[in-house]
Amino acid sequence: MRWAVIFKDTEDMLQVRALRDLRDAHVAYAKAHPELLIGGGLKPDTDEDFCGALWVVEADSRADVVGLIEKDPFYVPQYRSFEIFTWGKLLEDQMAVL
């Protein structure tokens, strides 16, 4: 089953994002988890600061997705909240290359 995760950050999360060691650990974590199909930061516009992120995850259960999120070095509960949605792909037979 596919899940979409929308992360919403407080302004203080920008300080976390600025920590290179933590960012490197976050990228390594994402690479080590192939169930995280795609992810990336969200901005209101190209010249604005990050305000959250989006993940698409392939997992058996919502609990599996929560576990993946909570172990991510970038998940700082006081600065980042999230919502999880089941997600179905329109045009399931077509490959999307990003």
Name the pTM for this structure: 0.90
Amino acid in the structure at residue 33: H
pLDDT in tens, 2-38: 999 999 999 999 999 999 999 999 999 999 999 999 9
pLDDT in tens, 81-95: 999 999 887 777 777
Would you identify the CATH topology of the domain 2-86?
Answer: Alpha-Beta Plaits (3.30.70)
Burial annotation 4-30 (CB, 10 A radius, 16+ → b, else e) = ebebebeeebeebbeeeeeeeebeebb
The answer to whether the Cα torsion of 62, 38, 52, 44 is positive or negative is: negative
Domain ranges for the chain: 2-86
The whole-angstrom separation of Cα 29 and Cα 85 is 22
